[in-house]
Each structure stands twice: as structure tokens, then as C-alpha cells.
Amino acid sequence: MNIPTIGGTRGIFEIFVPGVFLLINIGVAVYLFPYIDAETKGILVSVSSNSALALVVAICFGYLIGVLLRLIRADVPDQLSAAWLRRFERGARKEKGGFKLYATEEFPYFGWIEEAAQRYLPPEASEFYSRTWAKRKTGHRSKQFFNFCKLIVASCDEKAANEVYAAEALTRYIAGMFYALTLAVILLLVTLILRYIAVGQLMSGLVFVLAIYLLAILVIIQYFRGIRIKEVETVFAATFRNKAAFEEAGLEGETVTTGQAG
């Protein structure tokens, strides 16, 4: 897997920010934890009050935590988001029963791309899908082909590649923040409960922060599937724009007959 460097925009956006966010919440949880000794708390205060040292810690450990979050696949928020759509979004239901593909299919949603191309895009786009994407529609081939498409686009169209990487970075950032928020909620909730048991103190400020975090998680779940579908649609548009490169790579062949989208 290609891990963006910390000096690049992608690295800061999708790795460094979620990592630092979780690192800060870990520090808060440790400081408020009732069974932590005063010496350890003093070290935390010293580090946080020294701007240079705090920056070094944030860069080293924040980036490390961000990379670990990046290694976790985005399937969990994606599946939760799909379940949310099936439960709460009326537009996800078909008139004759069942659900539309965008609320049921697994990443990278080749079936939904086929349906969208047939319904909303010019005929040339649907024909291009049939010649290229349709033959890699099922199994692990779809993900491998999807990643290969991004590499082909990056090699021949810098502007389109920037759009593809921006869409990917947004998806990865939201996924990283989902996991960071979830872990932060668990840490702070345990700290809140144990602090109330140990010293009888219910911290209203911490309760408010937890409520904000939970609200953020719900918003991510509600919109994550749409954001990820947008990423795939961007890749498809970029490959269609550069279809000549796919012809040169031998990825286009005879038209594959596909059924009409339901």
C-alpha cells in the first residue's frame, strides 16, 4: 500500500489529522483517568506546555496513529452507511420491493456504476463500461481493476488524477475520523464512568464532548456511502475521459452484453 508522505497534502489530510485527533483524546483520557498517578499527569502537562516538544510528539505519534487508522479498511463505516440508507432513506427502496444497488452493493459498486451509466450518462459511457469495467464486475478482480484504473489515469492525465486522489483522500479522511471518533468515545466513556465511580464526579463538559462525537459519528454513517460512491464515479469518469489509454493498454475488448439496470 502506498502511504503518502507527511509533507504532502494527502498525508496531512487523511492520515495526520485523524492521528493527531486521536492522540489528543488519548492524552485527555489518560490525564482524567482516576487511577493515574500525579507524576504521570505532570509529564503530560509538561509535554503539552512545551510547544516544541508537543509538536515533535504530535508529528511522530500522531502520524503513526494515523497510519494505523489508515490500515483499517473502510468497510465498516461503508456497511453501516448502507444499512442506514436502507433503513431511513426512502429513495433507496425500489417501487417493486427491495433496495437499489447503491444501498446494497459492496465497494467498488460496479453494478451501480453500470446502472448510473445507463440511466444518467451518454450512451458512449455505457458502451465504455461494457467494454472495460463489466468484465471485472465480480470478485477480487473488481478492486484490483479499480486500483489499476487509478494508476492508468495518474500516468496519462494529471488533472484527472488530482480529482481522483482528492476524492480518495476525502473518503480516507472520513473513514479515519470515523475510527478515531469511535475509539475516542470508548476511551472517554470508560474514563467518565470510572471517574464517577472512584471520586463521585460527573464531568458535564466531558458528557458534552461525547455527545458531539456521537453526533459526528452518526453524520459520517449517514453520508459515507454517498461520499465513497462519488469516489468511484470520479474514477469511472476519469477512465472514460482517458479511454484511449485503456485501448493502448489492451483493456478494451469486445462489447459485453449487460442487462438493463433495474
For 239-249, write each residue's pLDDT tens digit: 999 888 877 76
**For residue 140, is it within any domain?**
yes
11-20 residue pLDDT tens: 577 899 999 9
Burial (CB count within 10 angstroms: exposed 0-12, middle 13-18, buried 19+), residue 124? exposed
Count structural domains, the chain.
1
**For residue 112, is it within any domain?**
yes
66-102 residue pLDDT tens: 999 999 999 999 999 999 999 999 889 988 888 999 9
**For residue 103, is it within any domain?**
yes
Contact 22, 70 (CB under 8 A): no
**Mean pLDDT, the chain, integer:** 86
pLDDT band, very low/low/confident/very high, at 140 (cuts 50, 70, 90): low
**For residue 51, is it within any domain?**
no
Burial (CB count within 10 angstroms: exposed 0-12, middle 13-18, buried 19+), residue 49? exposed
Contact 165, 13 (CB under 8 A): no
Question: Could you give the CA distance from residue 125 to residue 257 in angstroms, rounded to a whole number?
Answer: 14
Question: Which domain covers residue 143, as residue numbers?
Answer: 73-248
**For residue 24, is it within any domain?**
no
Contact 152, 247 (CB under 8 A): no
Taken as a whole, the chain contains a residue count of 262
Question: Could you give the CA distance from residue 80 to residue 224 in angstroms, rounded to a whole number?
Answer: 9
**For residue 149, is it within any domain?**
yes
**For residue 10, is it within any domain?**
no
**For residue 49, is it within any domain?**
no
